[in-house]
């Protein structure tokens, strides 16, 4: 089965079964699947909202999530056939920017865009302080999540 790895700011829509994977910290990934067909999509966005002058679609949650919804609806415009899962949005940057709300803003925009498009959220694994490695098996519609140890936890484990 083909495996496609998404870097920050990328998104992918597929018509045939594959595995979509990425690594998320404060970034958020939205996984979409069709309930009856092998169509699926995933994004990996860094920031919640684009400004009018911003051109990069994949970097911003409002644009990247709208883009994958639009592309999925081009494959099948039937209402009620898409389901979503949301991952990421951790506070992993707290050591660089204490009380950073980047992750929380990313989670909020993903939920808002999906609600505006009336797409049910089947599952979420969001927030916290740990990054996530995710692998979306589009054939089964399942997402495997592996939590990533934070830098602080790693350093602490070196000095018991």
Task: Provide the phi-psi class of 105: left if phi over 0, else alpha when psi is between -120 and 50, else beta.
Answer: alpha
Annotated domain spans of the chain? 3-158
Could you identify the residue written with the tokens 């204490």? 98
Q: Is the pLDDT of residue 147 over 90?
A: yes
Whole-angstrom Cα distance, residue 107 to residue 109?
A: 6
CATH number listed for the domain at residues 3-158: 3.30.1330.200
pLDDT digits (tens, 9 = 90+) for 69-87: 999 999 999 999 999 999 9
Of the pLDDT bands very low, low, confident and very high (cuts 50, 70, 90), residue 156 is low
Whole-angstrom Cα distance, residue 52 to residue 48?
A: 13
DSSP string for residues in the chain: --EEEPPTT-EEEESS--EEEEEESSSEEEEEEESSSS-EEEE-BSBS---TT---STTBHHHHHHHHHHHHHHH---TT-EEEEEEE---TTTTTSTT--HHHHHHHHHHHHHHHTT--EEEEEE-SS-EEEEEEETTTTEEEEEEE--HHHHHHHH--
At residue 133, the pLDDT reads 96
| Whole-structure pTM value | 0.91
Whole-angstrom Cα distance, residue 48 to residue 97?
A: 17
Whole-angstrom Cα distance, residue 50 to residue 56?
A: 8
pLDDT digits (tens, 9 = 90+) for 53-65: 999 999 999 999 9
Of the pLDDT bands very low, low, confident and very high (cuts 50, 70, 90), residue 1 is confident
């Amino acid at each position: 089965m083909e495996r496609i790895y998404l870097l920050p700011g990328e998104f992918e829509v597929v018509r045939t079964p594959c595995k979509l994977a990425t690594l998320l910290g404060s970034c958020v990934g939205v996984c979409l699947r069709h309930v009856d067909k092998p169509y699926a999509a995933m994004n990996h966005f860094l920031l919640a909202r684009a400004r009018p002058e911003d051109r990069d679609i994949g970097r911003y949650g409002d644009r990247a999530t709208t883009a994958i919804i639009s592309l999925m609806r081009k494959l099948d415009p039937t209402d009620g056939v898409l389901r979503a899962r949301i991952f990421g949005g951790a506070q992993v940057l707290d050591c660089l920017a204490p009380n950073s709300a980047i992750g929380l803003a990313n989670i909020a925009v993903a939920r808002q865009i999906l609600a505006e498009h009336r797409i049910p959220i089947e599952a979420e694994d969001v927030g916290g302080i740990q990054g996530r490695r995710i692998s979306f098996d589009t054939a089964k519609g399942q997402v495997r999540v592996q939590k990533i140890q934070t830098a602080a936890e790693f350093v602490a484990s070196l000095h018991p």
